[in-house]
Amino acid sequence: MIEVTGLTKRYGRKTAVDDVGFTVRPGLVTGFLGPNGAGKSTTLRVLLGLDRPDGGTALIDGRRYRDLRHPLRTVGALLDGAGPVPERRGVDHLTWMARSNRIPRRRVREVLELVGLADAAGGRVKGYSLGMRQRLGLAAALLGDPEILVLDEPVNGLDPDGIRRVRQLLRDHAAAGRTVLLSSHLMAEMAGTADHAIVITGGRIVADAPLDDISAGH
């Protein structure tokens, strides 16, 4: 479970996230929805330990990310700009991640199949399109077979096949009783994927309700 309480984050005089609180429950796909600059990435960065809050807490299973005993097995994350070294081959990046986290090597092949990157994984990351990088990032997020998925704009740059795969993965993950939080700036992307939506605008939560209720109000 993800629990964010009274979270505040400033950059200079700009308050990017202002007293934000929400809970993300297992068994559902939860959308984190808001326009560009709303504070979605900032919230997720703090949650994933990449940024420190000015106030409040963002906890995963009651702990800060850095205090998790098995981070990759607990939470799989996809965040902009957190990609592998460009000179690396996609498959080597995943193999290295698996080795350093005591994840069985066969899991690398499995996640590459899941995201549809098996054929391209032998190429260097610098030659990948945006969609291929996104698929590799998803494969990395899935590697530890994590209980929780946190994905920042996961369908960015994906073709229809990629979008279909991501949707199916998220639905399956939630159906297995696990937790899924995905951000998007497009309401339309949530339809048919998310069950629940948390809406953020100008650093503040403005709605937290079943998706059907929120889309009815639009």
Give the binding site for ligand ADP (CB under 6 A).
11, 14, 16, 34, 36-42, 46, 49, 52-53, 57-58, 64
At its nearest, how many Å lie between ligand ADP and the CB of residue 54? 9
At its nearest, how many Å lie between ligand ADP and the CB of residue 186? 12
Q: Which is nearer to ligand ADP, 43 or 95 (CB)?
A: 43
At its nearest, how many Å lie between ligand ADP and the CB of residue 148? 14
At its nearest, how many Å lie between ligand ADP and the CB of residue 124? 29
Other CB atoms closer than 10 Å to residue 193's CB: what's the count?
21
Q: Which is nearer to ligand ADP, 94 or 198 (CB)?
A: 198
Task: Evaluate whether 198 touches 205 at the Cβ level (below 8 Å).
Answer: yes
Q: Which is nearer to ligand ADP, 35 or 177 (CB)?
A: 35
Task: Evaluate whether 47 touches 150 at the Cβ level (below 8 Å).
Answer: yes
Residue 194 corresponds to which tokens in the numbers above?
A: 């998310």
Other CB atoms closer than 10 Å to residue 50's CB: what's the count?
15
At its nearest, how many Å lie between ligand ADP and the CB of residue 30? 15
Q: Which is nearer to ligand ADP, 81 or 104 (CB)?
A: 81
Q: Which is nearer to ligand ADP, 41 or 95 (CB)?
A: 41
Q: Which is nearer to ligand ADP, 45 or 133 (CB)?
A: 45
